Amino acid sequence: MSDAFSEPGKAVAVTIAKQPKQNRIPWNPWLAVGFVIVVYFLTQIIAAVLVALWPAFMHWSPSRSQNWLDTSINAQFFFVLIAEGLVVLAVYQFLRFYHRGWGSIGFRRPKWTDLAVGIAIAPLYYLIYLLVIAVAGWLVPALDVDQAQQLGFDPVGTWQLVLTFISLVLIPPFVEELLMRGYLYSSLKKGLPVLGAALVTSAVFAAAHLQFGSGAPLLWVAAIDTFVLSLFLVWLREKTGSLWSGITLHALKNAIAFFALFIFATS
């Protein structure tokens, strides 16, 4: 029997030594929380400014410019595309600064089993969410469980539906899983137990869906929904070691909402 297995201390040392350097998180976990908050707000500000430059470039009148920014599907699509693209770029640059790869935050090549698990867990998520929202409504009678989320999309044609689908179903699940259950959760696990990291990640994710600055009342029902969803997404991240099951569940949830709001509701 080798010395590594005959002496526990050496065995642990050998195990640590064999861990890929790319999979170790060297940065402070609370730095990650600040990074996520700054990136979330900054990317939206930059995207809004860049999209607003188009009417100025076209020399439109102030009223036409404002109408385009408020109602155009193209404007909303490019806002989402720019903001989410900047998030990915920011995470990439952060990992590159610390000489880490995407694998360190769970972004690896997908497997068919990852996709199957993401789909299979969806009914359980919806069941738990309905139970939680029922209890929340009973405990807090003032909670508006029917409050609608302001999505910023009102497609009327096929092409607009395609852009809306890409903006709501394809891009956000990928980017949000990369940022939240990938970067943030992986970072928090360095300093917190799994449950603590899951709760903090889910709280940050839920807060991002309260619709701060929209002019409407805070969307508590969406925060509850996304908090519950995040717990399932973290669980999938732990069980599979990959982000793809979570991306699948997240995209499936958004797809169901898309068809309910824009396809079946108008048919």
pLDDT in tens, 94-111: 999 999 999 999 999 999
Over range 82-101, report the average pLDDT.
Answer: 97
Q: Does 45 map to a domain?
A: yes
Among 255, 249, 243, 254, smallest CA distance to 110 is for 243
Over range 146-166, report the average pLDDT.
Answer: 81
Q: Does 8 map to a domain?
A: no
- E-assigned strands of the chain? none
The pTM of this model reads 0.87
Lowest mean pLDDT among 3-12, 64-73, 177-186, 255-264: 3-12
Contacts of 31 (CB under 8 A, 6+ apart): 187
The domain of 169 spans 24-263
| 185, two tokens | 């959760």
Give the distance, in angstroms, between the CA of residue 175 and the centroid of all CA atoms in the same chain.
Answer: 6
231-236 contacts: CB < 8 A, separation 24 or more? 231/198, 231/202, 232/121, 232/124, 232/125, 232/128, 233/177, 233/180, 233/181, 234/181, 234/185, 234/197, 234/198, 234/201, 234/202, 235/198, 236/117, 236/118, 236/121
Give the distance, in angstroms, between the CA of residue 240 and the centroid of all CA atoms in the same chain.
Answer: 18
Q: Are 166 and 251 in contact (CB under 8 A)?
A: no
Lowest mean pLDDT among 142-151, 189-198, 228-237: 142-151
> What pLDDT does residue 217 have?
78
Q: Are 173 and 247 in contact (CB under 8 A)?
A: yes
Over range 203-226, report the average pLDDT.
Answer: 86
Check pLDDT > 60 for residue 241: yes
Instruction: Please count the structural domains in the chain.
Output: 1
Rounded CA separation 200/189 (Å): 10
| 225, two tokens | 């929904």
Q: Are 198 and 189 in contact (CB under 8 A)?
A: no
Lowest mean pLDDT among 49-63, 224-238, 242-256: 49-63
Among 221, 210, 209, 218, smallest CA distance to 129 is for 221
Give the distance, in angstroms, between the CA of residue 187 and the centroid of all CA atoms in the same chain.
Answer: 15
177-193 pLDDT tens trace: 999 999 999 999 999 99
Q: Does 236 map to a domain?
A: yes
Q: Does 7 map to a domain?
A: no
> What pLDDT does residue 147 have?
75
Q: Does 34 map to a domain?
A: yes
Sequence length of the chain is: 267
Check pLDDT > 90 for residue 201: yes
> What pLDDT does residue 70 have?
85
Q: Does 16 map to a domain?
A: no
Chain position carrying tokens 């003032």: 142
Q: Does 59 map to a domain?
A: yes
Q: Does 57 map to a domain?
A: yes
Sign of the Cα pseudo-torsion (149, 150, 152, 153, in order): positive
